[in-house]
Amino acid sequence: MINLLFSVIVPIYKVEKYLERCVESVLNQTCKDFELILVDDGSPDSCPQICDSFASQNPNVKVVHKENGGLVSARQAGIKVASGEYVFNLDGDDALVPNTLERAKSIIEKTNADIISFSYMEYRNGQTKEMVNTVVPVGFYNKEDMEKYVYPHILSDKNMKNLFYFMAGRVIRRTLVTPHQLNISTKICLGEDISCMLPCYIDAQSFYMDDTPVYLYTIRDDSLSTDFNTRQLTQLAEVIKGFYNLNLKKPEDFEEQVARYSCFMCFAILAAAAEGGHFKYLNEIKGLIVDSINNELIKKAEFEQITIKTKISIALMKKEHIKTAFYFLYFVSKIKSILNKG
């Protein structure tokens, strides 16, 4: 059996418009030391046939067909059949630049890092925009360095900045990520990435930060990630409970980071609801924040350098004035829209 360096895992559901570009971006990598695992998560379109077609023509492509179970279950199905030393997660509507794996291989050969974090490019309507993570400097971090420089930014620092939460675009040693990936509830559909990345960061012995934007993240108007649903707040509470249940030595400022993460996510969800004009959910939103673990965490969260809009919103949320914060965010978004048109 050939020992491969990378297992690229692609969960697939309703992405027929983007799938060929995604798969070809992997097959065209300059580094050929990989297997490509396509996980058809019961996709009702032509994705299953596209997957099988690629597998019939490429011996390093594996296909897993399964009933629809969501992103977590798809990644779990992929990692169960993976054999590479490192796992690279790639979403089915995204793509990689041609030297992504070559870049990762070079870093691994020099550092043997457990986790490599890359930057990415947003792709929308044919235009790209580089999104570079500068929270920690580029370079290699051993365990001691991680505890000092990386851990303070895993969930949220005092400036509301963090390491990228995404699983996609991270290169992680398979023996490290597998138990944590398999430990995530398949019911989670918000916070599933950080639910795996948090224990991976804590468990890792080394880390490499690379600001090279190698991942092409497609912004889709029809993406599920752009939808608003009050279930997001319920999910958030479950994710945070999962943080507390981790059987790992947690960072010294873990409690503070969880509080800031909770506050940041509630603010982000509230802002999305307000900007989308989801007034009919307002009472439910208030109840789901005030009557959950998030309420006390919001009150504990302390930030330093954040925008005036964010500062006002959080001040209102701390006093449980959720509806007022909602209307404030709604009017700010409308004013911004008018100014942009002008």
pLDDT on residue 221: 67
Q: Residue 223: pLDDT above 60? A: no
Of the three residues 166, 191, 222, the one that is the final residue of a domain is: 222
Judge whether 39 and 12 are in contact, CB under 8 Å: yes
| Contact (CB, 8 A) for 255 and 156 | no
- Residue 277, pLDDT > 60, answer yes
Indicate if 182 and 35 belong to the same structural domain. yes
The answer to whether residue 260 is domain-embedded is yes
- Asked if pLDDT for residue 226 goes beyond 60, the answer is no
Q: Which DSSP string do the residues of 170-204 spell out, in sequence order?
A: EEEEHHHHHHHHHTS-TT--SSHHHHHHHHHHHH-
Q: Give the tens place of pLDDT for each residue, 56-68.
A: 999 999 999 999 9
Based on the domain organization, do 206 and 250 belong to the same domain? no
In percent, the amount of the chain with pLDDT more than 90 equals 87
192 and 302 within one domain: no
Residue 66's SS3 state is: strand
Would you give the DSSP letter of residue 193?
A: H
Backbone angles phi, psi at 70, to 5 degrees: 100, 170
In a domain, 183, yes or no: yes
Query: Do 172 and 280 share a structural domain?
Result: no
Locate 124 and state its tokens: 């929308």
pLDDT band at 227 (very low <50, low <70, confident <90, very high): low
What residue type is assigned to position 230 of the chain? T
Instruction: Tell me, yes or no, whether 29 lies in a domain.
Output: yes
In a domain, 1, yes or no: no
Is residue 111 domain-shared with residue 173, that is, in the same domain?
yes
Say whether pLDDT at 341 is over 80: no
DSSP, residue by residue, 71-104: HHHHHHHHHHS--SSEEEE--TT-EE-TTHHHHH
Same domain for 82 and 163, yes or no, is yes
Give the pair of three-digit tokens for residue 149: 């420089």
In terms of domains, do 201 and 257 share one?
no
Residue 236, pLDDT score:
95
Torsion of CA 143, 148, 152, 154, to 10 degrees: -20
CATH number at residue 118: 3.90.550.10
Which residues, 6 or more positions from 33, have their beta carbon under 8 angstroms from its beta carbon?
4, 5, 6, 101, 105
- Least confident among 181-185, 217-221, 248-252: 217-221
Cβ atoms of 55 and 12 within 8 Å: the answer is: no
Q: Are residues 240 and 173 in the same domain?
A: no
Which of 1-5, 19-23, 224-228, 247-251 ranks highest by mean pLDDT?
19-23
pLDDT at 224: 44
Residues 143 and 261 in one domain: no
- pLDDT band with cut points at 50, 70 and 90 for residue 222: low
When the pLDDT of each residue in the chain is averaged and rounded to a whole number, the result is: 94
Indicate the number of domains in the chain: 2
Mean pLDDT score, 175-186 = 96
Q: In this structure, are 95 and 195 located in the same domain?
A: yes
Domain edge (last residue) among 180, 198, 222: 222
* Mean pLDDT, residues 147-158: 96
Answer yes or no: do 263 and 162 share one domain.
no
Domain boundary among 167, 189, 222: 222
Q: What is the residue range of 59's domain? A: 6-222
Q: Are residues 168 and 96 in the same domain?
A: yes
Residue 121, C-beta contacts closer than 8 angstroms, at least 6 positions apart: 128, 129, 130, 131, 213, 215, 216, 217
Percent of the chain with pLDDT over 70: 97
